[in-house]
Structure 1
Amino acid sequence: VVLDGGALVNWMTSATHVAPQVPIALDELAHGKPQRIAQQWAGGKLSPQAMGRVAHGLVYGVFCSAWTPYESEEEALRAGQEAFPSFPRSVQAQAPQLTFLRPDCDVWNVPAAPRSIRDKTRGDIPTLALSGSFDSQTGADNGPYVASTLTKAKVVTVPYEPHVVFATSKCAQEITVSFFNTPAAPKTACLKSLEPPKFEIGH
């Protein structure tokens, strides 16, 4: 397992599923013990919720039809460098998160979606924009952004939860069910009872 700067940045993005372990994992790495991060990075040992549920065909069907045809590799790289100007050049040499996306899309070989796929969605259909505050893949600020052109959207951010918040949070599931029952006023009282995770500490 090669843990270079790019791999470490990408691990941090996915490690929101094991947030309580992140400080101790970084401390171990700083003290010459990379095993925890290397195992998670190589073997997908994040959490039952995080792993084993990725529909790769769907993921690449979307990325390779709606994203890569309309953004060049140079544009993606430049955006990453602008977003993270303090990162070392060795990390900035690859676009963040989806390092091998373009070669993967060459293999997946799906046609580009219509350009309109990139347009903002507008409408008045009741919509729930549900996010996790620990989601570093699709940040919680995406919720209000998506809702800005949907007149009947409800924006809910569930604290301390990672990507795919519906899969990891019972509170998110309760909110979603209540949204189907009362779209104009989903029940969000469970948010008040949530507490931050207890971070693991060394012995």
Structure 2
Amino acid sequence: MFKPIILCLSLVTAIPSTALAQATPSRSAFESGPCAVEIAPDEKIECGMLSVPENRAIADSRLIRLPVMIFRSRSSQPVADPVMFLTGGPGNSALTGQRSGRSNPFLDQRDQVLLEPRGARLSTPALDCPEIITAKREIAAGRLRAEAADDGLVAAASTCRARLVGAGADLNGYNSAEAADDIEDLRVALGYPQLNLYALSYGTRLALTVARRHPGSVKAMVLDSALPPEVGYDETATANTWRALNAVFDGCAVDPACAARWPNPRGDFETLVSRADSERLPFRLTDPSIHVRGAQVVQGVAAALQDPRRIPLIPRAVGDALAGRYEELAAWIGGAQDPASFSWGLRLSVWCGEEMPFENADRVRAQTAPVNGLGGIDPRAASPEMCDAWGVASAASSANEPVVSDTPTLILAGEFDPSTPPQWGRRLLANMPKAFFVLMPGLSHGASFNACGGRMAFDFINDPTAPPTLTCVSKLAGADFSASAAEQR
């Protein structure tokens, strides 16, 4: 559920006139126009706007506008099927930060397309909720805790909902099914026979929804850090975090150097979290308004779990802090203070419509209990109370069922991913006979955003009938926990 550094893109030719002449369903239409983001001045990048109904279930639903970037192949004879990247979230922007494509290998053979998700930052309307981001910032800094934190998020969601609905938003129109139909409408408008979908995190759930609703339109998929629709994300958020932490602690235990320096990394972690909750530890952060308690310790470590460079250093950072040497972990805690800049209205509409109705509310509530040993952090995408305040209709039960598809698919998972565990990607194989699963050692969420993962994604989209070549995977060093035995510099 985190935003990657997505591949840079470029464009060299115009949209074919045949594409604009092709009718699109549901009153949707594409129109060429200026780019929604700043682009490299020396590259030919072509943009436009897709207009689609806000809620296709309502005949006279208003049209909303979604920015598009279309990047043509450098080839004089490109293949007909482009690649489309689907970002995570839900609530991330797909276009923000995209301005150049000189190093994008996909453009050697095919076009690449980006579509801003409905409700995201650059769409009209954008379902932004600064009230929720403000509350999340207070929670991250330890200034809003426990029941007060839950109440603050519910109040923020209520305020944001009232403002968006007052401005005319139909919040029931923002879900994965509508977003999948947006992608199909854009494909038809641009005249592409099929698409290749390259997706991250929540984007994998959206890609699976496209494959379910429009199976003939998808040639191949690359799913990085898979989020299948049938899993109960909020029910298992704490267990997923502990799975990744235990992988770290066990990795240290079997490394002779790490084990000699830190013989009980799991116990060190539990003791430090408990101690931070019982006394004010002198972390001496740059911002003195941050109250470091157990939750902030866990936040800092959880942020490191997302970074393959820091994963092997977790035993040292925790052990040093327990011994009164706070510098390394203090930097991690300070760096974990800015909450994700999701368009929270989009996030809640998707989650509260198609995920929360199918989860066990008591299990979801239990995820933040201090007894879980994580300082009471809230690793959920939303709470039942926030969804009650958001008040969108429940999706059909099919939205929460496994996707059955014969679309060729490459599934990549990171060994230490604390958000979408490898088991979730592997389970897709049961209903996808043409899928391949690859576990990436030493990596975390966003397992393809490295030279090896990128090469496998590139090769698979070029030939989705061939099993992935695992040579580079076999050469990945993995997490070297001996780094935790070295003194901090």
TM over 0.5: yes
Give the corresponding residue for 2:431: 149
After superposition, the Cα gap between the structure-2 partners of 1:149 and 1:8, relative to the gap in structure 1 and judged at 3 Å, is farther
RMSD across aligned positions (CA): 3.4
Specify the alignment match of 2:351 in structure 1: 63
SS at match of 2:461: helix
Corresponding residue for 2:319?
Answer: 27
Deviates more, 1:27-36 or 1:147-156: 27-36
| 1:141, distance to aligned residue in structure 2 (A) | 1.7
Question: Which structure has more helix as a fraction of its residues?
Answer: 1
Moved more, 2-11 or 92-101: 92-101
Q: Distance in 2 between matches of 1:161 and 1:43?
A: 20
* Aligned amino acid, residue 189 of structure 1: T
Cα distance change of structure 1 residues 153 and 90 upon mapping to structure 2, 3 Å threshold: closer
Q: 1:54 to 1:146 in 2, by over 3 A?
A: farther
- How many Å apart are 1:149 and its aligned residue? 1.1
Name which of 471, 477, 487 aligns with 1:195.
Answer: 477
Q: Runs of 5+ in structure 1 lacking a partner?
A: 46-50, 82-86
Aligned residues: 191
Query: Does the aligned pair in 2 maintain the 1:179–1:187 contact within 8 Å?
Result: no
Q: Is the 1:129–1:147 Cα contact (8 Å) retained in structure 2?
A: no
Task: Indicate yes or no: 2:440 matched with 1:158.
Answer: yes
Moved more, 10-19 or 33-42: 33-42
**Equivalent residue runs for 1:30-179 within 5 Å:** 30-44=322-336, 55-57=342-344, 59-78=347-366, 80=367, 89=371, 91=373, 94=376, 97-98=379-380, 101-102=383-384, 105=387, 110-167=392-449, 169-179=450-460
- When the two structures are superposed, what TM-score results if normalisation uses the length of structure 2? 0.34
Shift of the 27–56 alpha-carbon distance from structure 1 to 2, 3 Å rule, reads: farther
Distance 1:173 1:20, change over 3 A: same
Bigger radius of gyration: 2
Higher strand share: 2
- Structure-2 change in CA distance of 1:91 and 1:193 (3 Å): closer
Q: Which moved more, 1:98-107 or 1:125-134?
A: 98-107
- The whole-number CA distance in structure 2 between the counterparts of 1:42 and 1:102 is 29
Q: Normalising by structure 1, what TM-score?
A: 0.74
Query: Could you give the per-residue CA deviations for residues 51-89 of structure 1, whole angstroms, max 9, x where no partner exists?
Result: 9987554654443332223224412245x59xxxxx962
Q: 1:165 to 1:69 in 2, by over 3 A?
A: same
Match of 1:14 in 2: 303
Using CA pairs under 8 Å that are at least 6 residues apart, name the structure with larger relative contact order, 1 or 2.
Answer: 1
Does the 8 A contact of 2:351 with 2:381 survive in 1? Answer: no
Q: Which moved more, 1:55-64 or 1:155-164?
A: 55-64
> Are the structure 2 counterparts of residues 129 and 52 from structure 1 closer, same or farther at C-alpha, using a change threshold of 3 Å?
farther
2:359 corresponds to which letter in structure 1? Answer: E
Structure 1 residue 189, shift from structure 2 partner: 1.4
Instruction: Indicate the SS of the match to 2:380.
Output: coil
**2:355 alignment partner, SS class:** helix
8 Å CA contact retained: 2:422, 2:439: yes
Deviations for 1:100-124, whole angstroms, at most 9, x for unmatched residues?
6456556766543322221011121
Residue 174 of structure 1 deviates from its aligned partner by 0.7
1:125, distance to aligned residue in structure 2 (A): 0.9
Identity of aligned residues (%): 23
**Cα distance between partner residues in 2 of 1:103 and 1:111:** 15
Which secondary structure does the structure 2 equivalent of 1:148 belong to? helix
Q: For the Cα contact (< 8 Å) 2:293–2:375, is it kept in 1?
A: no
Task: Return the alpha-carbon distance in structure 2 between the equivalents of residues 101 and 138 of structure 1.
Answer: 18
Counterpart-to-counterpart distance in 1, 2:321 and 2:375: 22
